[in-house]
Amino acid sequence: MTAQTHGDIRVEVGLGARSYDILIGEGLITRAGAAIAARLPGVRAAIVTDENVAGHHLDLLRDSLEGAGIAHTGIVLPAGEKTKSFPALEHAVDAVLEARLERGDIVIALGGGVVGDLAGFVAGIVRRGMRFVQAPTSLLAQVDSSVGGKTGINTARGKNLVGLFHQPALVLADTAALDTLSAREFRAGYAEVAKYGLIDRPDFFAWLENNWRDVFSGGPSRTQAIAESCRAKAEIVARDEYETGDRALLNLGHTFGHALEGAVGYDSARLVHGEGVAIGMALAHRFSTRLNLASPDDAVRVETHLKAVGLPTRIADIPGEMPGATRLMDYIVQDKKVSRGALTFILTRGVGRSFVARDVPPSEVLAFLEQQVGP
């Protein structure tokens, strides 16, 4: 369900009594106070952000909250994937408790996917569950990680292995915030946009092939692409909140991608999440071709589009030395999409025809990886 409110696009995530709105529009950070006060009257807030985002947006959000009479405290963390860690979690939890915020107050996640995942986890565990608001400032967070309630941190054994499902009360996707992103960060977020077309929206993927330049330049297609991505995710989350069924489709490219992120030690200079997803989606389509599930033409089409927008599509595109297939398999079997030792992948029968494949033979995955990177 979508609607227009004050020029914003509204997408509802339908979860009964826990339903919430995603608002998509320009300048929402400067209007956040009013939006929060209207839905969550009388709350106080802890703003969790990182050093990079704080320089661009923290004062705007503070002013907006003050204007709406919302008392608040700021928690500024280091930027980067390595912040999704136990030490950063402990620091943020302690800061929320020090501010004497109560269960009925809120945590605001101001930043990209790292901040959103961490802050949502903080909200989920402090006082056995506070409410929280997502104010995503990256494209990746606006179209993916801010929606659906997945929160968590990484460990040395893998990505997102510690966390919980905790739905936000509101998502404020300020499209103006995207103007502060580097070209690399925007491209990385675009991988998640393309993912929705590749899952089950072939017409959307074809539209992206024709309109991606306008998306990247900030034209009307940008807001349109974000809204369509949010609709796609909202529909899946409403059907399968806790990923017991087809919500797993949202992991297209992620099992391979998470393994690659782990292999580089979450070093964002070498690989950021969206780049890992782009390579992972290309690998998933090539693997599907190897298993005779899809035409090689589909894998070529996917790789062609991802390369056209400047995303990596092969393991060899990652700078620096990479481990061989055997070590990458170690990361894959540690991934949380593994159930009782059986490998689960999102594979495809063609563009926009992805499906959950359970009991994928490890020998097939290993042989495929050896083909891609060597033993």
In this prediction, residue 6 carries a pLDDT of: 59
Q: Do the domains at 2-180 and 183-373 have one common CATH topology? A: no
Note the pLDDT of residue 3. 41
**pLDDT, position 122:** 98
- Rounded Cα gap, residues 140 and 76, in angstroms: 20
Rounded Cα distance between 143 and 146, Å, is: 7
Q: What is the 3-state secondary structure (H, E, C) of 192-229?
A: HHHHHHHHHCHHHHHHHHHHHHHHHHCCHHHHHHHHHH
Domains of the chain, by residue range, sit at 2-180, 183-373
Q: What is the pLDDT of residue 140?
A: 96
The pLDDT assigned to 18 comes to 94
pLDDT at 375: 65
The pLDDT of residue 43: 97
* pLDDT for position 288: 98
- Per-residue pLDDT at 1: 37
Residues of the chain with pLDDT under 70: 1-6, 336-341, 375
pLDDT at 245: 87
Q: What is the predicted pLDDT for the residue at 81?
A: 87
Phi first, then psi: what are they for 220, rounded to 5°?
-55, -25
Question: Topology of domain 183-373, per CATH?
Answer: Dehydroquinate synthase-like, alpha domain (1.20.1090)
Catalogue the active-site residues.
Answer: 128, 150, 192, 233, 243, 247, 251, 254, 258, 273
Least Cα distance to 148 among 39, 252, 233 occurs for 233
Fold of 2-180: Rossmann fold (3.40.50)
C-alpha dist (Å) from residue 46 to 100, 101, 207, 315 = 10, 8, 39, 40
Q: How far apart are CA 132 and CA 111, in angstroms?
A: 13
pLDDT of 45 reads: 98
- Give the rounded distance of the alpha carbon of 240 from its chain centre: 17
